[in-house]
Amino acid sequence: SAKIMMMDLPYSVEELVEATKDVVRDSGLPSCYIRPIAYFGYGEMGLNTLPCSVDVAIACWPWGAYLGDEAVTKGVRMKTSSWQRHEHNTMPPASKTTGNYVNSSLAKVEALKAGYDEAVMLNPQGLVSECTGENIFVARNGRLVTPPVSAGALEGITQSTVVAIAADHGYEVIVDDLARSDLYIAEEMFVCGTAAEVSAVNSVDDRTIPCPGVMTSAIAADYARCVRGELDKYSHWVELVK
């Protein structure tokens, strides 16, 4: 993200990891959500960021189940948003840039006001991109399909984690385009993200989807244990804070 935005971070990855652990340790929280943000600091007023310094802030706070306490077992209701995921040459969706989330916020609020839990976002070509803050996985013909970066999907860390867990269960995962109607006939479906973890989907545009599916349940259970340091085989993904 920083490279796309031409931000020269003043800290190494190792320094940022240690700073994050310090924040979590000092908070005293047994479980929390972590939000690091790099931003342009003092420079000149205007749109030219080149003279600006690059600063970093890290925060953490308690955050329960982002899509609801029963998202894993009973699933969430989704609607296709009237707001499109923006084009690569408009705002690069590959970058977790704060401004990109205005697009997501519009879609999220629209879905909530309509009585749904989350929104599915299509790109200008009508292909499934992602949700407002989560990657999408659909089970079709016994394997999992997730939209490609070219469709506007974020190449998420949680997404790659889920792919690895799925492979360990023997589930094939392919990256391919999905049409809106592909969601309606899914054998099962889930979304994943840092906040949402792995959450099942029970319907899209009022078309019922089997929930929770076998693959969804298995992956969700392992992911939840993984991020809490309860699975030794994934311990290399975990940073110990003590």
- Burial of 141-157, coded b for 16+ CB within 10 Å and e otherwise, reads eeebbbbbeebbbbebe
Long-range contacts of 37-41 (CB under 8 A, 24+ apart): 37/98, 38/1, 38/2, 38/7, 38/9, 39/98, 40/7
Q: How far is CA 209 from CA 77, 78, 120, 137, in A?
A: 10, 11, 14, 13
- DSSP annotation of 216: H
- The residue from 79, 96, 108, 242 that is catalytic is 96
Backbone angles phi, psi at 55, to 5 degrees: -115, 160
| Distance separating alpha carbons of residues 192 and 158, to the nearest angstrom | 6
The first and second tokens of residue 218, run together, are 């298995």
233 in active site: no
CA atoms within 13 A on the CB side of 224: 14
Which residues participate in catalysis according to the annotation?
96
